[in-house]
Amino acid sequence: MTIFTITDLVDWSRAQFALTAMYHWLFVPLTLGLGFICAFMETIYYRRGFDPEWRRTVRFWMRLFAVNFAIGVATGLILEFEFGTNWSNYSYFVGDIFGAPLAIEGILAFFMESTFVAVMFFGWNRVSPRMHLASTWLTAIGANLSALWILVANAWMQYPAGMRFNIETARNEMVDFLEVALSPVAMSKFAHTVTSGFLLASLFVVAISAWFLLKKRQEAFAIRSMKVAAVFGLVSAVFTAWTGDTSGVHVARYQPAKLAAMEALYEGRNGTPLTVVGLLNTDKKHDNDAPIFDFEVKIDKMLSLLAFHDLDAFVPGFNDLIYGNAEHGIMPVSEKMERGRKALEQVTLYSNAMREGDTGELARIKRLFDIDTPEGEAFYNDYFRYFGYGFLKSEDEIVPPIGLVFYSFRVMVGLGVWFVVLFAACLVMLKKGTLVRRRWALWLMLLSLPLPYVAGQAGWIVSEVGRQPWTVQDMLPAMASVSELSYEAVRTTFFIFAVLFTMLLVAEIMIMVRQVKNGPEAIKD
Amino acid sequence: MESYLTYQHYWWFVISLLCGILVFLLFVQGGQTLIYRLSGGDKDRKTLLINVLGHKWELTFTTLVTFGGAFFASFPLFYSTSFGGAFYVWMAILFFFVIQAVAYEYRSKPSNLLGARVYESFLVLNGFFGTILLGTALGTLFTGAEFTVSRDNIASLSGSNVISQWQSPWRGLEAVLDYRNVALGLAVFFLSRTLAIHYFYATVNSNKIIAKSRRPLIVSTVLFLVFFLVFFGGVMLGGGYETNHATGRIWYVAHKHFHNFVELGWLGAGFLLGLVMVLVGLFMGLDRCKNTIWVSGPGVVVTVTALMLCAGFNNTAYYPSLSDMNSSLTVSNSSSSLFTLKTMTYVSYLIPLVVAYIAFVWYLMTKKRESVDDLDDAPEKY
Ligand code: HEM
């Protein structure tokens, strides 16, 4: 099947959102990290009595920041509006909760970032050095604050907390803001995502500095930049791994199907091994007995340990999740679908009763949806919590694309380990003063430049493909979230934006390469 | 209930204010359509114009993003109905804003793939279509659109689950069939050009540019007034929908928007005040007064805010449905929950702080008018 033969609106809508998000994430992590790196460097410049060398260094990296910044902002605008254009039903159903962080992001973070970024670029001779330094810091903080709010919103979709369903408006409504904003998933997602951005930006600086050293140009500048970036990079890489581990624990707890996809786990068991690397057998489906792997390297009990911090913990596989596992209290999906439909039916009954003015019936249904009443609590636990399953047409819809998630996860984690090693080695060599001579090491650093981009994209694939079919976990599947559009309309705009983004990406890379080649010597005071 | 309604009105006010600020800040777009005309083909002067606009593009862009985000959060049903429905219009708006965002940064950089001319044309296209499309889309808040809303759909086990359904296959493009929408689109466009010239008076130190701005200023000012009057007259003469917030019933009222201005005296007075400021600004502009933008700009904010309040206050349906009157959106039937509105209200108390630092930075960065020579000495420029 080629992309041109897809006629499914949901798939095209997914494709359009994925396209925008993936392009967005090519630019944003650099903004998140390079903002801070510029702030560190400018602080050093300020503290060292306005050393002109440091000023040139900061300005060089700021120029690259500027080239990258605008396109991140542009793709972000589209993402925001695509919730409405492509996922309008979703926007209605959860806008009460999801919209709030987005609005707060706009009011609190975007203005900060966009106001001070102008001072940061153009204010060198217009404002005092102190004000300039403050602006650089505020730009970096603003960028990361906006990441916080959008990740809070994303985390809420993966782990819907702090809300209740309102039968009168037929949607979910927020009842506890702090539960939404400070949910553990939101915190670990924020920490993992921004630190991965710091890591990416650090490697960006290290790799470009390595290029200068290989060319034997601007060596003092390159070493100076590398020192800042390697320290920041190592700390960030360690944090990324640590917070990634916490994210994994949350996935195990709240999104077991995603974990099963990450591990290609079909049969759950106690003391589950971790597949370190593996080659998936493409014939394997959940309903046949084909072997899962053509090749694998496993560590016994490791998955149980990582996911539940218990060597003997039970980790469910797809067969448990689809067909149920009474021993471990897992209900079959068919049963969940049945219960979900019952919950959906009540919504329809409520609408009918409204039309007919049947007050008795209205009161009965209202009580069911009021979790503070005993009936409400029972209805919630027995039926409403499976609301989203009511939309599913078949039980295997809960299985996300396993191969994509499985491989992406390994790419991300594998690279994560590599980055720790790389930054640590870089620092050691810098300290010993041997780096400039070790051309192979400089080459490795330079060639690693694309890798954090790959890792970041892989991370989002794990997170977003892995949670399919849900836009809101267990509450709303993608097929009930889309706008009523023709797939042709979405396809057309998909291609228009695909061409536009690609063109702009190529332009950005060409401009960046040219700026790097011009080097800090091209910067006039 | 009473207090819920108050919050709903408060948030309609915030949306209206953001819309007012956005229309004011569209001077950036208007200015982009004038870069060739006012520079008279001189490269340095063109660069100067692009630079003084470039220091503000982010602000307009961010206001657009925040306007969208705040609309989503406070009136999610509007977001899902209009954005999901008028798909082509919103996609076109997005397209024309994306090309703007990169144009400033990439235009003058070497190896920029497309060449400076193409990025400049992005700026011009954004200036034309960004303003006209946004204005036309705003017009539908008064003139209506073809949609239906049925909340029952969400639970449908057989039919479509989509709550808001658009009834026209043109997905929003049909708005051009109502002359009032087009008139508002064009009014916003010519207003943005007028304001841009006012802005140049405050920020550009170049006699040649100022001299060249006279004719386009007069033309834009006059055309703005003509198109605005067409829109305004059309809306005042036309009807609108009224609702009872308690029962949710909706009915037709002739000259609804006119009544709103009369019945809410303060709103009518506010609108007139804004209009007078705009008119005074327009006259000051014709005199090339440096401070014009500080009269016409706030005048636009006040006028547009008042117009938006007129669309949603006084029990008016702010998004009338032409397909099914009862599907029309009002502040009470389309808003977020009381809890969400309250929570966001606390956040909105920080808006004055945000406005204050923006104003402070604006002041710092535009303390003196900029000339071609200044630009030559600037460490960074677009
Ligand atoms: C070193 C070990 C790492 C581990 C154990 C790890 C773990 C994870 C997990 C479990 C998720 C899914 C979270 C969810 O679905 O909620 C995730 C997502 C993600 N990862 Fe990693 N990761 C690691 C390294 C990296 C690296 C090196 C990068 C990039 C440089 C990265 C970038 C991302 C991104 C962008 C996401 C998506 C956003 C999110 O869900 O947090 N990760 N990671």
Per-residue model confidence (pLDDT) at position B17: 96
* A287 pLDDT more than 90: no
B 209-228 residues with CB < 8 A to A? none
Confidence at A471, pLDDT banded by 50, 70, 90: very high
- The ligand 1 atom at the shortest distance from the C-alpha of residue A452 is 30
The percentage of residues in chain B with a pLDDT greater than 70, rounded to a whole number, is 99
* B2 pLDDT more than 80: no
Per-residue model confidence (pLDDT) at position A416: 98
The length of chain A is: 525
Per-residue model confidence (pLDDT) at position A6: 64
Q: By the 8 A CB rule, do A326 and A270 touch?
A: no
The percentage of residues in chain A with a pLDDT greater than 70, rounded to a whole number, is 99
Query: Following CA atoms B279, B285, B286, B290 in sequence, which dihedral angle do they give, to the nearest 10 degrees?
Result: 150
- The ligand 1 atom at the shortest distance from the C-alpha of residue A248 is 10
Of B364, B15, B31, the closest CA to residue B192 belongs to B31
Confidence at A104, pLDDT banded by 50, 70, 90: confident
Per-residue model confidence (pLDDT) at position B285: 92
Query: What chain A residue is nearest to B95 in terms of C-alpha separation?
Result: A497
A 390-429 residues with CB < 8 A to B? 390-391
Determine contact: A516 vs chain B, CB below 8 A: no
Residue closest via CA to ligand 1's atom 7 equals A244
* A1 pLDDT more than 80: no
Per-residue model confidence (pLDDT) at position A218: 96
* A3 pLDDT more than 90: no
Test A510 with B171 for CB contact under 8 angstroms. Answer: no
Confidence at A159, pLDDT banded by 50, 70, 90: very high
Per-residue model confidence (pLDDT) at position A112: 92
Per-residue model confidence (pLDDT) at position B376: 83
Each residue's pLDDT tens digit, A123-156: 998 899 999 999 999 999 999 999 999 999 999 9
Determine contact: A145 vs chain B, CB below 8 A: no
**Span from the CA of A200 to the centroid of ligand 1 (angstroms):** 13
Each residue's pLDDT tens digit, B7-25: 999 999 999 999 999 999 9
Determine contact: A13 vs chain B, CB below 8 A: no
Q: By the 8 A CB rule, do A162 and A180 touch?
A: yes
Determine contact: A76 vs chain B, CB below 8 A: yes
Map residue B242 onto helix, strand or coil: strand
Chain A partners within 8 Å of B90 (Cβ): 81, 84-85
Cβ within 8 Å of residue A517, ≥6 positions away: none
**How confident is the model over A180-209, as a mean pLDDT?**
97
**How confident is the model over B211-238, as a mean pLDDT?**
97
Residue closest via CA to ligand 1's atom 8 equals A244
To test ligand 1's pocket by mutation, which of A255, A405, A463 has the most ligand atoms within 8 angstroms of CB? A463
Query: What chain A residue is nearest to B80 in terms of C-alpha separation?
Result: A88
**The token pair that represents A221 in the structure block:** 């500048």
DSSP B321: B
> What ipTM score was computed for the predicted complex, to two decimals?
0.94
Confidence at B157, pLDDT banded by 50, 70, 90: confident
Determine contact: B13 vs chain A, CB below 8 A: no
Side chain identity at A466, as an amino acid letter? G
Each residue's pLDDT tens digit, A387-419: 999 999 999 999 999 999 999 999 999 999 999
**How confident is the model over B267-292, as a mean pLDDT?**
95
Helix (H) or strand (E) holding B253: strand B250-253
Q: By the 8 A CB rule, do B329 and B142 touch?
A: no
Per-residue model confidence (pLDDT) at position A5: 64
Report how far Cα B309 is from the mean position of its chain's Cα atoms.
14
Per-residue model confidence (pLDDT) at position B365: 86
Confidence at A4, pLDDT banded by 50, 70, 90: low
Per-residue model confidence (pLDDT) at position A100: 85
From the list A63, A78, A92, the residue facing B164 with the nearest CB is: A92
**The token pair that represents A19 in the structure block:** 């396209």
- The ligand 1 atom at the shortest distance from the C-alpha of residue A192 is 41
Query: What chain A residue is nearest to B332 in terms of C-alpha separation?
Result: A169
Side chain identity at B79, as an amino acid letter? Y
* B1 pLDDT more than 80: no
Test B343 with A67 for CB contact under 8 angstroms. Answer: no
Per-residue model confidence (pLDDT) at position B375: 86
Test A514 with B76 for CB contact under 8 angstroms. Answer: no
Each residue's pLDDT tens digit, A239-286: 999 999 999 999 999 999 999 999 999 999 999 999 999 999 999 988
Chain A partners within 8 Å of B347 (Cβ): 103-104, 107-108
From the list A81, A114, A504, the residue facing B59 with the nearest CB is: A114
Exposed/middle/buried for residue B117 (C-beta within 10 Å: 0-12, 13-18, 19+): exposed
**How confident is the model over A180-192, as a mean pLDDT?**
96
Residue A135 distance to chain B (closest CA, Å): 10
Residue A413 distance to chain B (closest CA, Å): 33
- Distance CA(B100)–CA(B123), nearest Å, equals 5
Report how far Cα B316 is from the mean position of its chain's Cα atoms.
20
Per-residue model confidence (pLDDT) at position B187: 98
Interface test with B, best of A27, A115, A384 (most B CBs within 10 A): A115
Each residue's pLDDT tens digit, B289-323: 999 999 999 999 999 999 999 999 999 999 999 99
Helix (H) or strand (E) holding B329: strand B329-330
Determine contact: B76 vs chain A, CB below 8 A: yes
**Span from the CA of A416 to the centroid of ligand 1 (angstroms):** 9
Test A100 with B104 for CB contact under 8 angstroms. Answer: no
The count of other CB atoms within 10 Å of the CB of residue B201 is: 22
- The backbone region for B314, taken as left when phi is positive above 0, alpha when psi lies in -120 to 50, beta otherwise, is left
- Distance CA(B174)–CA(B42), nearest Å, equals 41
Each residue's pLDDT tens digit, B173-210: 999 999 999 999 999 999 999 999 999 999 999 999 99
Confidence at B54, pLDDT banded by 50, 70, 90: very high
To test ligand 1's pocket by mutation, which of A25, A192, A420, A461 has the most ligand atoms within 8 angstroms of CB? A192
**Span from the CA of A111 to the centroid of ligand 1 (angstroms):** 28
Determine contact: B85 vs chain A, CB below 8 A: yes
pTM over 0.90: yes
Tell me the pLDDT of chain B averaged across its residues. Answer: 95
Each residue's pLDDT tens digit, B87-104: 999 999 999 999 999 999
**The token pair that represents A489 in the structure block:** 């309309």
From the list B100, B154, B337, the residue facing A96 with the nearest CB is: B337
Per-residue model confidence (pLDDT) at position B379: 82
Determine contact: A482 vs chain B, CB below 8 A: yes
